[in-house]
Amino acid sequence: MKEASDKIAEVLQRSICLLAVLPLTACVTSRIEDSRQGVTGIAEGEGIVIMAKSYHLGNETESKFIRCVGDAIGRGSSGLRVIPNQQFVDALFPWFEPRTAPADTKGLPVLMARPGVQQAIKSQGVRYVIWLDGATDRVAGGGSLSCAAGPGGGGCFGFAWWQNDANYEASVWDLTGLEDAGTVSADFSGTSFLPAIVIPIPLFARTQAKACKGLSDQLKLFIVDDEA
């Protein structure tokens, strides 16, 4: 009888704990801003290319994030034409390699004056170069989780959480006007949870994916600039 009572008490305790964690959901806060330096717009046949701005070891903007932004900008009925990064770099070799790319728009007139550069850019149909800088980092976390197995089965118990911050900035260069059109920045902070009552239940914030969508949507609006 005592064994049955203990079993019922254990089930009730687990049920109460489960009800306590069910209301938890991963949360993300966001801030997207843009700073315009000039008038933008894009014509039929013109496109953009997305480049990584950070080249020093260990901090190059994630290629996965660049692909995500490129795919998002090119998707849908309002999508823009996105020229593949490597295709553009190869066509302009060696002028957009990490060590030779212009540091800012002040170097664009000199670059455009080099033999074949202007023709290569025109043949690629590139109107804007978007330089992406930033990263997604885990900035905090806590809790504990333990798992065990025995003759009667196994399970995990505990609670863990972690916070990821995704901070990215996109600088938009207009190759037609040889000027800095402005910047778009996205700051996203997401907290994920991992409650475990026998079975871990991950609740992911997906901070980087949401930063990708937010930055991409704002970049499209920034470049098209219907109100200009």
Domain membership of residue 65 (yes or no) is yes
Domain membership of residue 72 (yes or no) is yes
Residue-range definition of the domain harbouring residue 150: 24-224
Q: Which is nearest to 183 in space by CA: 134, 121, 148?
A: 134
pLDDT for the residue 19: 42
What value does the mean pLDDT take over residues 153-166? 90
Q: Are 89 and 96 in contact (CB under 8 A)?
A: yes
In this prediction, residue 57 has a pLDDT band, given cuts at 50, 70 and 90, of very low
CA distance 163 to 192: 6
Domain membership of residue 40 (yes or no) is yes
Domain membership of residue 171 (yes or no) is yes
Q: Are 188 and 207 in contact (CB under 8 A)?
A: yes
**Strand 179-200 to 27-36 pairing:** antiparallel
Q: Which is nearest to 71 in space by CA: 226, 227, 224, 215?
A: 215
pLDDT for the residue 61: 63
Domain membership of residue 154 (yes or no) is yes
pLDDT tens-digit map of 33-55: 999 998 999 999 999 999 998 65
pLDDT for the residue 17: 46
Q: DSSP of 169-221, one letter per residue? A: EEEEEETTTTEEEEEEEEEEEEEEEEEEEEEE--B---HHHHHHHHHHHHHHH
Domain membership of residue 6 (yes or no) is no
Whether the per-residue pLDDT at 8 is higher than 50: the answer is: no
Number of compact structural domains in the chain: 1
pLDDT tens-digit map of 128-140: 999 999 999 999 9
**Assessment of whether the complete model's pTM goes beyond 0.85:** no
Domain membership of residue 8 (yes or no) is no
CA distance 112 to 104: 13
Domain membership of residue 58 (yes or no) is yes
What value does the mean pLDDT take over residues 198-219? 93
Residue 217's CATH number? 3.30.160
Q: What percent of the chain has pLDDT over 70?
A: 84
Whether the per-residue pLDDT at 10 is higher than 60: the answer is: no
Between 53 and 92, whose confidence is greater? Answer: 92
Between 10 and 53, whose confidence is greater? Answer: 53
194 Cβ contact partners less than 8 Å away, ≥ 6 residues apart: 143, 145, 159, 160, 161, 200, 201, 202, 203
